[in-house]
Structure formats: C-alpha cells, structure tokens
Amino acid sequence: MTLAQAGTQQVDARIAHLRRSFDCIDVEAPSGFVCSMKDGLVGSLSRKRIEPVVTSSGTIFLRSVYRDRDWIYHDHVIVRIGDQEYVSDALPATSSDVTRRETRRQSSSDRRRGRYDEDRYVSETVRYRGGSDNGIVRAIAEAGDAKVAMRLAGGPRVFDKILSNDEKRSFADAMEQATLLRRRATPATGDTLKTAVETDGGVGGRRQSRAAEFAALGNDHWSRVGR
C-alpha cells in the first residue's frame, strides 16, 4: 500500500466517523448527501438555532432555524465571541434561501363532540451560502472554550441564545468534515491526516484552528435542497 493510499483510507475513516455526529440525507447526485446537526428533541416542532450544513462536495454553509408559535421574521444572524462580533448578510424575503411556512398539528380530540384542537407552529429557515455568513461558521469552529452568543435578527422581534459546548463542537466537526471531503475530491501525493494549531488576528486577536487543513472554502455551487 502506498503512502497516498494509506492517507486516503485515513481520510475516509475520519469522514465516516464525523458523519455519525450529524443527520445526513441523500440527494440526487452521485454519492450525494447533505449533513446538518441532529435534533435534540426528536418529534418536536420547536427549534431555535444556527447550524453548519455540509454537502458531499465539501461545501459548508450556515443555516438559521426558528420554529415556534409566532413569527419573528429574522433575515440575518449576529454572533458574538469575546469582544468580536460577526454579522451575516441580510437576505430578502424573496430569496430562494429564505423559507417561511406554517404547520398545524392535531393536539387533542373529542370524538363524541366532534371537536379537534390544533397546535400551530411557524417555521423560518435562512441559508447563508456563498460566503454570506461572513466568517461565522469558521469563527464558531475555532472558538474553543470562548462563550458564543447568537441572535436571530432583522424582524420586529429577536431571539438570543448562548451556544452549548456540543453545538460549538458540531461547528468544528462540520468544518473538519468539509475540509476532508474537499481533500478527498482532489487528493495530494502522500496525503496524511495532520492536526495543527495556527494563530492569526481573528477572534480576540487569537484564533486557533482545529486543523491546519482549514483552508478557505470556495463558492457554494450546491443546488437548493429544502428541509
């Protein structure tokens, strides 16, 4: 076995391991899939978060999700890490990357009286592709132990949240998975997995990368997949 083959096997094994941390669905493309964060409450219609999305081509982008009983009409995300603030682009409601819909689900019934009660939920989803997250995914992936605060903004109301350690870890795992998928698509001679730390002038003047392979990601050419 050559060094390049050994490196490819290591990459494949690591990708398979990382995929188990996400919900992945197949799409209409050769060996195509899309991975996003697992739901904490299976079956619940309530969800309020930001999450990384990774495609089989190695593209990674940010997605914000708000599901509850009332609209907030958010169109962008604000993230604060230490004294550094990141603001995504604000997307217009007419964008194909903005989805808003209403869901109704029966909550109880009285068959004898013919009465049914429904729970109403609204869903807002925004995808920040082609770099429109303005560095949010990378900043969270490299945040380490720093506190990460997020805000869904742009409408008459906002939603604030502090990301958990598991959520921050999901961003780091997603960034690594995307990097390895891109590496597998264009392998280099003698490719081997390496872990390194790099410092630059980012978050609070100190940004640590989980891997030296966290190269800048290219434009997002992924076709729209609703979810």
E strands of 45-154, at which residues?
47-55, 60-68, 76-81, 84-87, 98-110, 115-128, 148-153
Q: How confident is the model at residue 129 (pLDDT cuts 50, 70, 90)?
A: very high
Q: How confident is the model at residue 42 (pLDDT cuts 50, 70, 90)?
A: low
Closest CA to 14 of 213, 173, 198: 173
Tens digit of pLDDT for each residue in 73-117? 999 999 999 999 999 999 999 999 999 999 876 655 555 666 666
Question: Residue 85: beta bridge partners?
Answer: 80
DSSP characters for 193-221?
--------S-GGG----S-TT-PPP----
For the residues 201-219, what does the mean pLDDT come to? 33
Question: Does residue 141 register a pLDDT over 50?
Answer: yes
Mode of pairing for the β-strands spanning 148-153 and 76-81: antiparallel
* pLDDT, the chain, mean: 77
